Amino acid sequence: MIGPALNGIIPVICVTLAGLACMLAEAFRQRDERMPIGGLGIIGLIGTGAAVVLLWGRRAESFGVVVADDFGLFVQLVLVGIGVLTIVFSSSVIERDGLPAGEYYALVLFALAGMMLMAVASDLLVIFLALEVFSLALYVLTGLRRHVFASTEGAFKYFVLGGFSSAFFLYGIAFTYGLVGSTHLDRVAAAIQAQALTGNPLLLVAMGLLLVGFAFKVAAVPFHMWTPDAYEGAPTIVTGFMSTAVKAAAFAAFARVFLLAFEPLRGEWTPVVWVLAVCTMILGSVVGVAQTNLKRMLAYSSIAHGGYLLVALVSGGDVGKASILFYLVVYAVTNLGAFAVIALLSTRETSMEHLDDYKGLWLSSPVMAGVLTVFLLSLGGFPPTAGFVAKWYVFSAAVRAGQYSLAIIGVLTSVVSVFFYLRIVVMMYMSEHAEGAAPPRPSRTALAALAASVAILLYLGVLPARLLDLAARSVARMF
């Protein structure tokens, strides 16, 4: 029957329809007419969230290649939240930067559709198609400011390196299919066990090629080269969207592929991911200290946080798997909020990307300075913010799995990263006010979204048990 077969992709359909509605609204909008196109996107995302909630606990399957289990639905809810916050923060930024509203919102929603499909895909080919859908949308969003050289340069680098990573990923799928005769994750795992392919060198090659594709998307070292340039060149709010939504979708698929399909080969891929995690945490933290551009600094911060998520992946177990979900929620709210503050404080003349731009911010804009402080403290893992609980949960999972050295390296790199987070706080509160015009006042809607983000981080920092329990139950119904 067609009805039940579509149940698992109803959230994806809702987001896609919202994107099409934004495109049609832009087509019928007069040249100088103001139309709330972003409102159409929010309505579509609210409907998507409702569909996800209705599917919760049902494990809906679609055409044998999509499994909307609670793990995937949890990630989809995270993506819905990221989408809503992105649209809310974008309204004033789009008008200021002169970006095409209809195209912008449509691209954001189409990227979300690909990410949501990737979160619930149970077939390697569907994961690849979903990856390409959201990647193409992000390439365009990165270079949307065509008159800015840094934007076009970042988009070009992202596109070229993304094409290479897609080729690696597709070759990995081809090798996997040639060896086991299927691209479905359950069948791949069963075939590896039944045919005793654990030591097959070609299967190791296939797994390595897939690992390269995922490592690029999560910006793991040494596949991180595109990240600083793309993050710096993209519109600031797009950078926040990329840094959070891509990680949520990519780690969902990463966990599903390696903790399900290639679980029989855990002994082979764990040392490789261990090395990736260590290199990613060290480079992201150490190189981030030397940055004076705030967007590039947060780019290396994003790389380091990808390393912490890799620690959870290596740890495995129920705690390690659940810690991935909890960390994605906290990181999404924190990082998107930090980039939103940068975007909302910027003007046509001042981009607020340099560290010196934040000297004495508490004098000219105490509310924004306070909000940014909470986000930075959460990124650094300070209590009582949710960032502290997220890192503690990840490192405790590593300790339970016997990965003591990995946990120690994670703690040490986290301590190093505290320097560049606190450096901004010191500039805001302990430096003289920089000369120039006062920063613009954000809209009430944007302030409400920032206040909600801060409230979430403080609530989860004090009372994380409910979300931790929900994450654990979501993982239990998948693996």
User: What pTM was computed for the model?
Assistant: 0.94
Specify the pLDDT at position 32. Answer: 63
Rounded to whole angstroms, the Cα distance separating 296 from 281 reads: 16
Written as six digits, the tokens of 232 are: 């710096």
Parent domain of 189: 2-476
**Do 230 and 158 meet the contact criterion of CB atoms below 8 Å apart?**
yes
**Do 154 and 232 meet the contact criterion of CB atoms below 8 Å apart?**
yes
**Do 171 and 209 meet the contact criterion of CB atoms below 8 Å apart?**
yes
Which residue from 337, 282, 289 is spatially nearest to 310, judged by alpha carbons? 282
Q: How buried is 3 (Cβ within 10 angstroms: 0-12 exposed, 13-18 middle, 19+ buried)? A: exposed
In a 3-state reduction of DSSP, which class is residue 88? helix
**Do 191 and 182 meet the contact criterion of CB atoms below 8 Å apart?**
yes
Specify the pLDDT at position 99. Answer: 81
Specify the pLDDT at position 251. Answer: 93
Count: domains in the chain = 1
Q: Which helix (H) or strand (E) covers residue 60, if one does?
A: strand 60-62
Residue at 190: amino acid letter:
A
Specify the pLDDT at position 433. Answer: 66
Q: How buried is 31 (Cβ within 10 angstroms: 0-12 exposed, 13-18 middle, 19+ buried)? A: exposed
**Do 139 and 162 meet the contact criterion of CB atoms below 8 Å apart?**
yes
In a 3-state reduction of DSSP, which class is residue 343? helix
**Do 398 and 356 meet the contact criterion of CB atoms below 8 Å apart?**
no
Q: Which residues contact 147 (CB under 8 A, 6 or more apart)?
A: none
Low-confidence ranges of the chain (pLDDT < 50): 1
The predicted-structure confidence for 236-280, as pLDDT tens digits, reads as follows: 899 999 999 999 999 999 999 998 889 888 889 999 999 999 999
Specify the pLDDT at position 53. Answer: 93
Rounded to whole angstroms, the Cα distance separating 70 from 74 reads: 6
**Do 210 and 255 meet the contact criterion of CB atoms below 8 Å apart?**
no
Rounded to whole angstroms, the Cα distance separating 336 from 328 reads: 12
Q: Which helix (H) or strand (E) covers residue 66, if one does?
A: strand 66-68
| 36 φψ region: left (φ > 0), alpha (ψ -120 to 50), beta (else) | beta
Specify the pLDDT at position 1. Answer: 40
Specify the pLDDT at position 154. Answer: 87
Specify the pLDDT at position 173. Answer: 95
The predicted-structure confidence for 209-223, as pLDDT tens digits, reads as follows: 999 999 999 989 888
Rounded to whole angstroms, the Cα distance separating 284 from 429 reads: 26
Written as six digits, the tokens of 43 are: 């309505």
> 339 - beta bridge partners?
none
